[in-house]
Amino acid sequence: MLSGRMQHLHPRRCLFLALLMAAPCAASSAQRPLFEPTDLELEDPGVLDFDFQLGLVRGQDNWRVVTPDFEFDFGLARNLEFDLDGTYAITGTTASPFAHPQPLPDALWTSAKFGLVDWVDGTTKRAWALGGQVGPKLPIARGNRGIGAEGLTLVGLAAGSFHFVLNTGLVIDPRPSANAQRPIGIEVGLDVNLALDHRERYALTGELSAVRYLTNYPHELLTTVGVLYSPSKYLDVSVVSLLGWLDGSDRYGLLFGLSPKLRLFGNSRG
């Protein structure tokens, strides 16, 4: 698959195991998770990547503290990895994220991300890649019902310092409660990265994500803009702001990200 900064368009997500184990016992049902476009990063076999973001987000109703938004990626083969993706947050009130705090875990997406084909145009020096990500969504929040699913088709383009990944897919989330409709929607997203130096240590990142729901839920339209710093190939640090445009999206927020990697076995790709 495409290498270098094409693989670092979306730094996000880690979770301490204690929080994850506590999620099914939470007193509050999970909110409907927001769609975040993913990247075409496929970790080397034997590499474990911890992506997480911490910060404050103002929803349509209340503030919440994201503690954190997380992802675990583990490379299984050259074009295959296992992903674990979710969010654990503390929701407050319209006045403060710390007033009357309640735990708010999202559904947990367990998935396989895979690469299908990639090629380079020798004339234009542009690189293309095609892949996908698919798997079940587990109802870890108290009150949720049924196992959901999500599947994405990923198309990536690297052109000079710019890197793009187009996401299209379908999401079927767990029911928020026993009598509620399932959130079912069509997802479209774009992940953009612009390297600011030839070593690709500094970059600007951005996302545009939209969900058109087929059931009775408000549609989503969300944009993010951030700065990424990569002091080494085993660590990314980021600051990301977000702004929502429709009733189904958060209003605004600010997240700080950290993405360390750990090689458990194997050698780097050539």
Q: What is the pLDDT of residues 18-67, one digit of tens each?
A: 333 333 333 333 456 678 898 888 999 999 999 999 999 999 989 999 98
Q: Tell me what pLDDT residue 9 has.
A: 37
Q: How confident is the model at residue 125 (pLDDT cuts 50, 70, 90)?
A: confident
Q: What is the pLDDT of residues 134-166, one digit of tens each?
A: 999 999 888 899 999 999 999 999 998 999 999
Q: Tell me what pLDDT residue 27 has.
A: 37
Q: How confident is the model at residue 73 (pLDDT cuts 50, 70, 90)?
A: very high
Model confidence, pTM: 0.85
Query: 12 pLDDT exceeds 50?
Result: no
Residue whose structure tokens are 């710093």: 229
**Which has more confidence, 192 or 35?**
192
What's the average model confidence in pLDDT over 193-222?
A: 95
Q: Tell me what pLDDT residue 21 has.
A: 36
Find the farthest-apart pair of alpha carbons in the chain and give their distance in angstroms, rounded. Answer: 60
What's the CA gap between 149 and 132, in Å, rounded? 14
Q: Domains in the chain, please, with CATH?
A: 4-263 (2.40.160.40)
Q: Tell me what pLDDT residue 105 has.
A: 86
Query: 6 pLDDT exceeds 80?
Result: no
Q: Tell me what pLDDT residue 96 has.
A: 86
Q: How confident is the model at residue 216 (pLDDT cuts 50, 70, 90)?
A: very high
What's the CA gap between 222 and 245, in Å, rounded? 6
Query: 204 pLDDT exceeds 70?
Result: yes
Residue partners of 167: CB distance under 8 A and separation at least 6 = 37, 38, 152, 153, 154, 187, 188, 189, 190, 191, 209
What's the average model confidence in pLDDT over 246-265?
A: 95
What amino acid occupies position 245? W
Determine if residue 198 is left, alpha or beta; phi over 0 gives left, psi from -120 to 50 gives alpha, anything else beta: alpha
Q: Tell me what pLDDT residue 210 has.
A: 97
**Other Cβ atoms within 10 Å of 134 Cβ, number:** 16
Q: Whose CA is closest to 158, among 6, 39, 1, 4?
A: 6
Tokens of 11: 């730094």
Q: Tell me what pLDDT residue 269 has.
A: 57
**Lowest mean pLDDT segment, chosen from 27-36, 113-122, 134-143, 252-261:** 27-36
Instruction: Say if CB 221 and CB 246 are below 8 A apart.
Output: yes
Q: Tell me what pLDDT residue 142 has.
A: 80
Q: Tell me what pLDDT residue 227 has.
A: 98
Question: What percent of the chain stands above pLDDT 70?
Answer: 87
